[in-house]
Every structure is written in structure tokens, then in C-alpha cells.
Chains A and B, each alone.
Chain A
Amino acid sequence: MSDHSTTYVPKSAFGKWFESRLPIAGLVHSSFIAFPVPRNLTYFWTFGAILVFMLVSQIVTGVFLAMYYTPNAALAFQSVEHIMRDVNYGWLIRYLHANGASMFFVAVYVHIFRNFYYGSYKAPREVLYILGVIIFLLMMATAFMGYVLPWGQMSFWGATVITNLFSAIPVVGETIVHYLWGGYSVGNPTLNRFFSLHYLLPFMIVGVVALHVWALHVPGQNNPTGIPIKSGKDAVPFTPYATIKDIFAVVVFMLFFAYWVFYMPNYLGHADNYIPANPAVTPSHIVPEWYFLPFYAILRAIPDKLGGVIAMGAAIVIWCFMPWLDTSKVRSTAYRPLYKQFFWIFVAVCITLGWLGSRPAEGWYVIASQICTAYYFAHFLIVLPVLGFVERPLPLPNSILESVMGVQKGGAGIPAGAASEPQTKG
């Protein structure tokens, strides 16, 4: 919470000297050591730490890849093969980076749906949440441009299709696309600038993540009950409780990550991307990476170029309005029996859209995409606003402590240790 006091007192003489000049140790202490976190957080709340780990992992592997990669249309493909065959452990660094992008999106989707389920986007966390949406958009841009760099067939045609989305803009669309390409088609200038931006954007993500964490530390974390911390008994100190749990979750996630890297490193990619870019031939079935598929399905569901592009953009922009579209006063879906069903329908629709995005755009796939797209928007524009008025939520517990320990009757039935305030210890 923003009003908690900094209890940090430097012990050494140097510590005191330094702290009076740059109080960074006190900031770290109040934010990541003494910071009170709800005692009922589940493992769904460890994905923030997992995402920080993935961001660092992508930057470290990326910086090393950039030492061996050549951003030139004539040399890029060869330089990637050089990394794979000649550079010591180049194969490992590249597979970590390529699969790392997918792992990053796995974690961010869990993080986003946890937020949807527990109503973390609601007041007072709207700004925190919208910063998260911005991070997601930056991630999409970064991932897209990174996928272009190997300059294989999927790179080239993915770049062509995505940049052509801007040509749907009336009047100036064509000019904008030429400015994006630096030419009259995707080519060497496009590859150069994508490499430059692919290196830049992750550091912009770091900046927005810092704001995201800052905004988180003002109201503190949401929790599975959705009710705020009311007393010290509802909370535990960040260290060791959240720190250790986050580290454990990151290690488990690393196992999952390593499985992909070592056992099926190309499963999430496309074989066509091992064919050098050829501007005269489009692969017979072009699809984006799995994490873009639901949005791709929405794009293709609309039988109009500009309409499709607008729908795809709106599918993400609409997230920003969720705090105001959701009229329910209850945050956590655990206490919203009706919304719980709609939430899972929404999850199913998103997964179905992802699957449809991987199918060719023909026959009943198109119709199914249209139905799912309509439902996707209806979830935000109809279900969220209406349910708040018609739903009768379950009774909320009086406190986080009560939800964990059961209803207190004069303190009986709760072990003394459990009811104590661990963050006041030592």
C-alpha cells in the first residue's frame, strides 16, 4: 500500500551514508521486502514474476543473437543458419529466444485471464491494467518484427500481410505502407528498420513494466476474493512469502520452457521459414505464430478489408474499456455464479478463434469465425455491462483472513500462529 511506512534502517555506516544520498535500498525494502501481499494469493499471482523473468531472458538471448546476426536481406537467412551451425551454442541461444517468445505469450495470456477472472482491472487498478494492455501491444509489435528477421518465407510474407493492414486506411494508406517498407515492397530497408525497432522495443517494454509495477504498488495486489487488505492479518510480507513462491514458480516455468527448447524446438514455428524469402511465391498456407491466431481469425472473419483491420484492432483496444464496461461491484468471479459461466464461455471462444485462425479461410470455418467474433465483442459490450445489473453475487467474506481461515467466532478455531501478523515479526 502506498501509505505503508519504510521501516528500512541502514545498519552499516556506508549504508547510512549512501541511503541519505540515494534511498534506493529503502525503496527496494518497502517495495519488495516489507510490502504487504494478500495472504491468499494463488500461483496465478506468480505470473508477473515469470513475465519479468521472460523479459530478461529475451533481452539477454537477443543481445547475444544480435552479435552474430546480419540485418541485410541478402545475408540475414545465411547468418541465422550460421548461428545455428557454427556459433558455439548458437543453436541453444536461438532456440531459447524463439521459443522464449512463445513462453512469454503463454505467461502473458495466463496473466491476462487471471486478471479477467478476478476483476483485477476494476477500480482502483484501471491505470495499472491499461499499462498492461500497452505492454501487450508492445510485445505483439516486438514479436512480429522479431519473426521477420530470419528472412524466411514466413518472415517475408508475414511482414507483407501485416504491413499491408495499414493500406486499408483510406487515402493515406498506400503512402503509409511505402513509408513502413522504405520501398515499394517489403525489402532490405524494411528488414533494417525492423531489426532496429526489434532491439528498441523491449527496452520500452522495460520502461512500461516499471510503471506497471509502480502502479501495482499504489493499491497493492488484488487477490482471489477481490476484497482489499483490511488489516495486517490479511497480509504477509513480500519477502520471504511472495519472493520464494515467485522463485519456485519461475523454476517450474523454466522446466516447461526447457521442454520446448530441448525436445520440440521447432514445433511452434513453421517449416516454411526454413526456406529463404522469395517475393515471387507465397507459401500455400500462411498463418501467424500461434499467439496471434485469435486476432488473425477476427481479421479474416470480416469480409471487408478495412472492416477486418478495424475489428482486429478493436479486439484489443476494447480491453482498455473493461473497467467501465463491467458494471458489477464484485471483483472476483468466485462470487459471481452467472459471470463464472460466461467467463469460461469467453475462454472457449478465444481458444476456438485461435484454432479457426490456424485453418484456411474457407467454407464453414469462415462462418464459425464470424459467430465467434460476434460473441467476442458481445462479451464486452453486452455480457459485462448487463450482468452487473441482473446478477445476484454470492455473499463476500468479511476479510481475506476469514476466507482463508473460515468465519472467526471470537478467535476460536484459528491457530494462534495463523491469526498473528507475520509481517510484524522480526
Chain B
Amino acid sequence: MAETTTHVAEPTRRDFLYIATGAAAAVGGATLVWPFIQSLAPDAATVAAGAPVEVDLAPIAPGQIVKVFWRGKLIFIRHRTPEEIKAAEDVNVASLRDPQPDSARVKEGKPQWLVVFGNCTHLGCVPLGQQGEYHGWFCPCHGSVFDTSGRVRGGPAPTNLPIPPYSFASDTKVIIGQEATA
């Protein structure tokens, strides 16, 4: 009579088939998840909308902050006054939370133009210009303070306001979203 053995010391072909089937199912399942996760990422149209934008700087008066959008993100263009530039430069860089000299945050020879992303690096609110202890920006949501170089000087924000890629097409025209090609 045929006998069914449930416990064998040696692995059988059936064991191999179980493991192979299980492995194929696991890999297949994981692979199938991929397109669903990927569908959540910024889509092709959104990425395409990231084309560089041109901004005319001529009408921006000294001391003024202009808001523009690039890739759906808010960007501040600040025409800094000589006092604001001086305040940004006269800082002990080593004492900052996110140490960065002002010269690394503006284009060479154009210290009057500061271009930064306009969302607080804490939780994304829009900081208010010319406010706070350093007259740079103050975030009303959770109290982060930025100086006239957009560097974090207080509050919960972990980093400076980031600088988007941009370049000057001329003295009065800036292209946001495109670094200068040397």
C-alpha cells in the first residue's frame, strides 16, 4: 500500500517546489507594488512644468521682496539694501546652525539679489519678509527666524532657506530653474 510520509529528513522535490513557488510569488508581488508606488511620484506633466522661468528684475525696488513660482514652489527674489547686505556679511559663520557665508548664497558680483525658496525649512509655511530679530524673515507658524541671507537664526527650522538653481541672463533678467552654463 502507498504510504504518506509527512516527515522526511531529506529535502524533497516538493520542498523545492514550495520554496520556488513562494519566492516567485513574493518577487511577483513586490514587483507589482512598484508601479502603484511610482504612480504617486510627481507625474510627467508636473516634471515638465519645471521648465525655467524668466523674471524681469528692473521693477524690483531696493528693499522689496517679490514672490514667483517655479515647479509649483514659491521663490523669493529679494533686492537687498546695502545695510541688509552688510548685516548678512557681518556674521560669525561658525556660530550659525547651518554655517554658510553670505557670499555662497548669492551670485558673484550681485550681492543685492538674494533668490531663495519661499517655504520655511521646518514645516513649509511662508515666512514673512523684513520681520523677526534679523529683519530677514519670520515664520508665523512655528517661530523660525531667518536673516537677510535667508539663513536660519532661531526657531525650529533645521536648515537655511535653500537656493534654487538660477542664473542671470542679463543685469536685469534672471532665469530660475537653470544654472549658468560656463
Contact = CB atoms under 8 A, between A and B. Distances in A.
Given A179-B41, A279-B74, A308-B156, A189 B46 contact: yes
Contacts of B69: 279-280
Interface stretch (A9-17, A84-92, A180-188, A208-216): A180-188
Nearest to A285: B140
A164 B125 CA distance: 10
A184 B50 contact: yes
Interface centre among B43, B67, B119, B122 (most CB of A within 10 A): B122
A304 B143 CA distance: 12
Range of interface residues on A (Cβ < 8 Å): 35 or more
B43 A182 contact: yes
A285 B140 CA distance: 6
B71 interface: yes
Interface residues of B, number: 29
Contacts of A303: 155-156
A167 B121 CA distance: 9
Contacts of B126: 280-282
B72 A184 contact: yes
A193 interface: yes
A157 interface: yes
A305 B155 CA distance: 10
A161 B157 CA distance: 12
Contacts of B140: 282-286, 360
B125 A305 contact: no
A165 B157 CA distance: 12
Nearest to A363: B143
A183 B42 contact: yes
A160 interface: yes
A193 B37 CA distance: 13
A284 B67 CA distance: 17
A122 interface: no
Nearest to B71: A184
B73 to A, nearest CB: 5
A187 B71 CA distance: 11
A125 interface: no
B63 interface: no
Interface of A: 157, 160-165, 167, 178-185, 187, 189, 193, 279-286, 300, 302-306, 308, 360-362
